[in-house]
Amino acid sequence: MVRSMFAAVAGLRAHQTKMDVIGNNIANVNTYGYKKARATFKDQFYATLKGSSAPGELYGGGNPSQIGYGSQIGSIDVAHSTGGIAATDIATDVMISGNGYFLVGEYNKAGYDTTSKTDGNNLTALNMTRVGIFYFDGNGNLVDGNRNHVYGFKNYAEIGTDPDYIKPDAGGGDPKKTLEALQIPQIVMNKDGSPLLDGDGNYTMVEYDETTGDPTNLGTDGYAASMKLNSVSIGADGTVSGINDKKQVVIVGRITVANVPNPNALESTNNSYFKAKENTGIISAEVPGEGATGTLESGKLEMSNVDLSQEFTDMITTQRGFQANTRIITVTDQMLEELVNLKR
């Protein structure tokens, strides 16, 4: 008789956990980039009263007799389907139209080597997010709403030799080898605050030592400052560009998108971030639109993928399931009371 009490208590715990998941989904119905979760049940262990037996010459076979001890949470899955589109008309707001995640994190001067092919490689040090609320800070860094740096490729080469274009890094090498924090290109400033110009009247770009990352051409009186840009835009391929006061197109860099073979293995953290732990497969940083990733859409953000009608339906069935399990406890208690009263 007491087995029913234990089964009902297990059922209460399982339904309470599912209600917790539903409550969190509803709470984040208007959270940009939120991915809804789903709780599933599975039956718990069994007590075998009689085992199965094989048929013999005189008697037939016997089937087992078992009594279960309730339910438990089988899994809590996250649905990584794309949410709706929210138009913001802010140029630096961007959403991924398809698969992939933005890579953001603390500033790392050395960047991250993307050629490593270990499980998850060193990109696991960065956070992944679907929320593209980006802006440039006072030092020209492209950061997200949590002040983490946005990472991408800076030394790619496809613009050509047009002098009206300014690239952030004129160096050679593999354009997709190093993942770096994106920043507006810096120019050398004179002590009086005017930009240092060359013989042709062009800005003098700050050059950096490849080993230390320190500026090498500032001289004794010069200092580095971010170039002033207008009309900043983000292209579908992740290219971040703007126009300086000389009407030149300045290429800040290219936002990359992480391709995760098994996104269900990502762990959710706070601030709408995901972290790669185990079982994600080999994560790669891709140009948006390549490597099974989606392209970018500027001036838009991804809405939560929570379906309120489904959540309310699940909430009703979960509440009724919880209620039914409380009735089992009540009835079992009444039966125990009757048993105690047999002595009267």
Comparison of pLDDT for 116 and 50, the residue scoring more: 50
**Could you tell me the CA-to-CA distances from 113 to 41, 176, 177, 207 in Å, in that order?**
42, 9, 6, 21
CB 19 within 8 A of CB 322: yes
Mean pLDDT of 49-56: 92
Side chain identity, residue 58: L
Q: So what's the pLDDT on residue 157? A: 45
Distance from C-alpha of 133 to C-alpha of 144, rounded to nearest angstrom: 6
Q: What percent of the chain has pLDDT over 70?
A: 91
Distance from C-alpha of 9 to C-alpha of 13, rounded to nearest angstrom: 6
Instruction: Name residue, tokens 């290429």.
Output: 251
Q: What percent of the chain has pLDDT over 90?
A: 60
Determine which of 72-76, 88-92, 137-141, 214-218 has the lowest per-residue pLDDT on average: 214-218
HSE-CB for 44 with a 13 A CA cutoff:
18
Please, which pLDDT band fits residue 159 given cuts at 50, 70 and 90? very low
Answer whether residue 163 shows pLDDT above 70: no
Q: Per residue in 290-312, pLDDT tens?
A: 889 999 999 999 999 999 999 99
Determine which of 52-66, 238-252, 257-271, 304-318 has the lowest per-residue pLDDT on average: 238-252
Answer whether residue 81 shows pLDDT above 50: yes
Mean pLDDT of 51-66: 92
Side chain identity, residue 239: T
Side chain identity, residue 31: T
Q: Report the mean per-residue pLDDT for the chain.
A: 88
Distance from C-alpha of 337 to C-alpha of 331, rounded to nearest angstrom: 10
